[in-house]
Structure 1
Amino acid sequence: MTPYSTTTTPARFLLLGDSHAGPIGRAAKQAGIPFHGGPIGAGREFTAEFFDVREDDVVFRKPEADRYYRGFLDELGVSGLGGLTVPLVSTLGFSAHFIATLENWQAYRVRGEFPPGFLSSRLFDGIVRAMTRGALDFYRLAHELGLRVLAVMPPQRVPEHSDPEVFMAAQDTIRRALLELGTEVVDLRRRSTDETGFQRPELCETNDTIHGNLAFGRMILADLLARGL
């Protein structure tokens, strides 16, 4: 996990996320786009409750994550999340492969298959929202504090221990939930996938089953810049 820091030029955004934030930070650093932030932990640490509220700020319950976060705020010259004057770009909550872990969903299969309509049902939607309640609370608080928030969808890559059907459906549930909160969602699936619906090989990190590479980070950065960041 590598936090990032750029020059003394005023930052355009705060990047806060899991390991999927890495390629975004590397792309911005290479392009000379001023920002502060980076990964603060693993995706599985940012689904259920993972922070406490302190006035207009959050305190991450994992000390390492909070230490990184405090460092980023210091670099931006603010004391809390509510003091941000730049947009917040985040990948938190979008590690859908953790939600899609195979054993989590065996009980819902009948003779190896999900019942018709299950993955688009209110039950499935409710389960996924409950599993990501901490992330949704984080984005909700950010909006209550008046921040502009952009959430970046994950690379379309599913490791062997995860269910591809659940991965695809779960990320759509998370996307809908964030849009309901007013979050801008960076969704590059039409440009980053092939006919299978999964990430194009040239956008995948080599010798890795989950992450996007620098080229994918550049695509995300280009989208962010097109949005005025």
Structure 2
Amino acid sequence: MTTRFSTITAPARFLLLGDSHAGPIGRAAAAADLPFLGGPIGAAREFTDDFFTASPQDVTFHNAETEGHYRQFLAELGVTGLGQLRVPLVATFGFAAHFIATKQNWHLYRTGDGFPAGFLHSPLFDAIVTETVRDALAFYRHAVDLGLRVCAVLPPQRVPNQSDPAVFLAAQEPVRRAVAALGVEVVDLRDRITDPSGFQRPELCEVDDEIHGNLAWGRIVLRELLDLGL
């Protein structure tokens, strides 16, 4: 990807925190001269289980590097804790569907070349998926409880070889519902970025990369954020 973090000296319109999928969103904002703070602060797998501790007005990230970047962003915003944030929070935590869909995690549930009829839309499947991202859900819950406006962005619709495409497509829906139920505004662009296969259109894909969207994808996300009033 490109520069890991983006900062603009003018008053920030939002704080961006997430995995590598936050990168193209930040690049799009920087290219549009839209002031913001933040960017990718870790890998997708780091933002599912036990990645932070909540306190009455803040969070502490367990990874030292992630925590350091987070504190830097807060300082540049002139606050000392998440609860003091006066701009919207844009995040990608919990929506790394390619990680949830890792093939080896789903062998137990397969029958032959597929899954039992209805499994991918069953309460069991939903429970497995939401349990996988339980700490991401806890993060969103805490941010909303602190009074923040939170927008969460669904990922590019791209499936690497180590992931199961059917699980990838299905897993996003229980996560989306769970996040939305917390009062988070979910940026779901699947109908605008995919072709008839259900996967990302080639012109929105990062070249020589199995997972990420490119700057054009980031611009579509940014346009939706602006339409939401950020």
TM-score (norm: length of structure 1): 0.98
Equivalent in the alignment of 2:177: 176
Query: Within 5 A, what are the aligned runs for 1:9-24?
Result: 9-24=10-25
Query: Could you say what the CA RMSD is over the residues aligned between the two structures, in angstroms?
Result: 0.8
For 2:219 and 2:112, the matched residues in 1 are separated by 43
The aligned residue for residue 216 of structure 1 is: 217
Residue in structure 2 matched with residue 101 of structure 1 by the alignment: 102
In the TM superposition, what is the alpha-carbon distance from 1:54 to its structure 2 partner?
A: 2.4
Runs of 4+ in 1 over 3 A off after TM superposition: none
User: In 1, Cα distance between the equivalents of 2:112 and 2:17?
Assistant: 41
Q: Are positions 1:92 and 2:100 aligned together? A: no
Q: Shift of the alpha carbon at 1:111? A: 2.0
The aligned residue for residue 188 of structure 2 is 187
Aligned-pair distance for 1:79?
Answer: 0.4
Q: What is the alpha-carbon distance in structure 2 between the residues aligned to residue 190 and residue 54 of structure 1?
A: 38
**1:225 CA drift (Å):** 0.5
Percent identity between the two aligned chains: 63
**Cα distance, 1:10 vs. partner?**
1.2
Is 1:2 equivalent to 2:15 in the alignment? no
Matches within 5 A, 1:108-127: 108-127=109-128
Which whole-Å deviations, capped at 9, do the CAs of 1:102-134 have from their partners, x for residues lacking one? 010010011232111101111000001110001
Q: Which residue of 2 aligns with 1:155?
A: 156
* Letter matched to residue 151 of structure 1: A
Q: For the residues of structure 2 that align with 1:69 and 1:93, how far apart are their CA atoms? A: 18
| Structure 1: tracts of 5 or more residues without a match | none
1:1-48 per-position Cα deviation (integer Å, ceiling 9, x unaligned): 6011112x2111000000000000000011010111111000010011
* 1:68-95 per-position Cα deviation (integer Å, ceiling 9, x unaligned): 1111111111101101000000011110
Matches within 5 A, 1:13-162: 13-162=14-163
3-state SS, counterpart of residue 104 of structure 1: helix
Give 3-state SS (helix, strand or coil) of 1:197's partner. Answer: coil
In structure 2, the gaps of 5 or more residues are: none
Aligned partners of 1:216, 1:113: CA distance in 2, in Å? 31
Amino acid aligned to 1:54: S
Counterparts of 2:172 and 2:43, CA distance in 1? 17
CA distance in 2, matches of 1:214, 1:109: 36
